[in-house]
Amino acid sequence: MNETHYISSELLDLQTIQQIINSNKKLELSDEALLNIKKSKEYLNKKMENNKTPIYGINTGFGSLCNVEISSENLSKLQENLVMSHACGTGEYVPKAIIKLMLLLKIQSLSYGYSGVQLQTVERLIWFYNEDILPVIYTQGSLGASGDLAPLAHLALPLIGKGEVYYENGRISSKDLLEKFDVEPITLEAKEGLALLNGTQFMSAYGIHILLKSYKLCYLADLIGALSIDAFDCNMSPFDPNVHLVRPHGGQIKTAEHIREFLEGSEIGANEKKNVQDPYSFRCIPQVHGATKDTLKFVHKTFKTEINSVTDNPNIFVSEDKIISGGNFHGQPLALALDYLSIAFSELGNISERRTYQLVSGLRGLPDFLVNNPGLNSGFMIPQYTAASIVSQNKQLATPASVDSIVSSNGQEDHVSMGANAATKALRIIDNIETILAIELLNASQAIEFRRPKKTSELLESFLASFRNTASFVEEDRVLANDIHASVAFIQSFTIDEELLFSN
């Protein structure tokens, strides 16, 4: 039987979300959330009974149509029209894991009781989540300003029996799915369409998905980097704690600590070195990897705040007797954070590829391109090309999306964050980092064999033994694409203790 996660005002964090995902927990509203949703809806209904004052998005049009009043008999139609008209997504399909996070984060935001939605609307979203009924959503269409309008419209379509959903390894129309379960579509009431569409759950879900992958990749970059250090027969002095205590950036200190731990007891590391200094890509691992860790900490803080916030509009404050139209849907904090993360992880890939380049260069007693009989065999010449091409693509993808803006809605929405573009670009960069690190791992594991009979540390020998079940030593040329793909799969399946993962 699956465990249950109760939606409440208790702060969501990365560890909690990972546990919900990994344990396949079901969602349920806490008593607190039930009360918040009911109070907010009752207040809105009472406010609307005899109210003739225009309230944005409740009895008016949207965007630049905010001054158009809507009659009471058309309020439900207004919300349904909003959802349908805004479902203009294009491009690739959003990964299912991210759609599921979007549902979780939208439910969390609506549960605080500042949105004026029906309880049955939130419960229907929970039903979608628990039954793995995932709306079909597209990557393109959001400006990251009035929230993620187009993607969230597609998230909301199945509530009214429109659009498509993924269900049981296939796609089915929402209408057919509801009929299959003998469930009626939701009749949206005043403000509900706006509450569903305004919000940052597309950007936020991408950000959380990326953060979970990023912590793992940060750890693996240190681990694989440590293997490369021994593979290239590097000095250990640059990792001495004294060096880092006089420049005490947190990420730098943590990375140097990792390197020392990973290489403790290494026979290769204990060797007397002929080389006085090593290239920066080895010597400066703490400084470069560490800066990425510090960026990750900042981005984590930004997203933790966001996923525990109310980001639709207008907001209903029952105790203050106010309905206020503001701008909490604007994605600027997320856009900047995602761009920062993209730049930081692009650099993690950049320095990894440089280590790969050094390992194939025929230096430090290693054969050219890490293969016997170079010339007859090209060995690891071309995997470095592949890494270089991906690194170059990452540099292009790391160009900030947040420096751009474009006017929309007849000038009413005259500054936008482009956070959705920042999010989709950032995921491509993170996925690319997996491949770049996989190629470094292939090269470092190959190079270590040329250091035999000397061994690296016990920890890294164990890591290598596990990896060798995936990719064997390359005696002579073969189709290395297979080894790269196997190495990527190894990285993706590699598990790290949660305490270690989030202590980066």
Tens of pLDDT along 213-234? 999 999 999 999 999 999 999 9
**Res 274: pLDDT:** 86
For the stretch 402-413, pLDDT in tens is 999 888 887 777
The pLDDT confidence band at residue 258, using thresholds 50, 70 and 90, is very high
Q: Which residue from 145, 155, 142, 162 is spatially nearest to 63, judged by alpha carbons?
A: 145
**Res 215: pLDDT:** 97
Residue 135 host element (H or E): strand 134-135
Q: Which amino acid would we find at residue 504?
A: N
The pLDDT confidence band at residue 76, using thresholds 50, 70 and 90, is confident
Integer angstrom CA distances of residue 475 from 368, 450, 484: 14, 12, 16
For the stretch 83-132, pLDDT in tens is 999 999 999 999 999 999 999 999 999 999 999 999 999 999 999 999 99
DSSP one-letter string for 203-250? HHHHHHHHHHHHHHHHHHHHHHHHHHHHHTT--SGGG-HHHHHTS--H
Q: Which tokens in the block code for residue 394? A: 């990452």
pLDDT over 80 (residue 21): yes
**Res 422: pLDDT:** 97
The pLDDT confidence band at residue 69, using thresholds 50, 70 and 90, is low
Tell me the range of 42-51, 249-258, 316-325, 411-420 where mean pLDDT is highest. 249-258
Q: How many CB atoms lie within 10 A of CB 496?
A: 14
**Res 414: pLDDT:** 80
d(CA 351, CA 366): 20
- Class at the top of the CATH hierarchy for domain 4-199: mainly alpha
Respond yes or no on whether the N-terminal peptide bond of residue 314 is cis (omega within 30° of 0).
yes
pLDDT over 70 (residue 57): no
pLDDT over 90 (residue 272): no
d(CA 434, CA 217): 7
56 is catalytic: yes
3-state secondary structure of 392: helix
Residue 281 and residue 358 in contact, taking contact as beta carbons nearer than 8 Å: yes
d(CA 317, CA 315): 6
**Between 458 and 45, residue with greater pLDDT:** 458
Q: Which tokens in the block code for residue 229? A: 């250090």
**Res 78: pLDDT:** 84
The pLDDT confidence band at residue 252, using thresholds 50, 70 and 90, is very high
pLDDT over 90 (residue 209): yes
As a whole number, mean pLDDT of residues 295-304 equals 97
Locus of tokens 């049009």: 61
Percent of the chain past pLDDT 70, that is, above it, reads 95
Q: Of the ranges 73-82, 184-193, 359-368, 391-400, which one carries the lowest mean pLDDT score? A: 73-82
What does the DSSP 8-state code read for residue 452?
T
The pLDDT confidence band at residue 66, using thresholds 50, 70 and 90, is low
**Between 47 and 214, residue with greater pLDDT:** 214
Maximal C-alpha separation, the chain: 88
Q: Which tokens in the block code for residue 298? A: 């900042």
**Res 56: pLDDT:** 65
d(CA 306, CA 297): 14
Q: Is 503 exposed, middle or buried (0-12, 13-18, 19+ CB in 10 A)?
A: exposed
Q: Of the ranges 233-242, 260-269, 320-329, 384-393, which one carries the lowest mean pLDDT score? A: 320-329
For the stretch 416-461, pLDDT in tens is 899 999 999 999 999 999 999 999 999 999 999 999 999 999 999 9
DSSP one-letter string for 158-183? GGGT-SEEEETTEEEEHHHHHHHTT-
What is the domain partition of the chain in residue ranges?
4-199, 206-311+340-501
**Res 77: pLDDT:** 87
Over its C-alpha atoms, the chain yields an Rg (Å, rounded) of 26
Q: Which tokens in the block code for residue 427? A: 């995921």
**Res 64: pLDDT:** 56
Return mean pLDDT, the chain.
93
Q: Report the first-to-last Cα separation within the chain, whole angstroms.
A: 33
**Helices 96-110 and 149-156 sit at what angle, rounded to 10 degrees?**
90
For the stretch 365-387, pLDDT in tens is 999 999 999 999 999 999 999 99
Q: Which tokens in the block code for residue 487? A: 């190495």
As a whole number, mean pLDDT of residues 275-293 equals 96
pLDDT over 90 (residue 47): no
Which residue in 43, 56, 112, 215 is the catalytic one? 56
The pLDDT confidence band at residue 147, using thresholds 50, 70 and 90, is confident
**Res 72: pLDDT:** 67
Q: Which tokens in the block code for residue 209? A: 């998905």
Q: Are strands 322-324 and 315-317 parallel, antiparallel or unpaired?
A: antiparallel
Angle at 353 between CA 245 and CA 435, to 5 degrees: 110
As a whole number, mean pLDDT of residues 19-37 equals 96
**Res 146: pLDDT:** 82
Residue 40 and residue 63 in contact, taking contact as beta carbons nearer than 8 Å: no
As a whole number, mean pLDDT of residues 131-158 equals 95
- Architecture of the domain defined by 206-311+340-501: Up-down Bundle (1.20)
Q: Where are the beta strands (DSSP E) in 272-389?
A: 315-317, 322-324
Report the predicted TM-score, pTM, of the whole model to 2 decimal places: 0.95
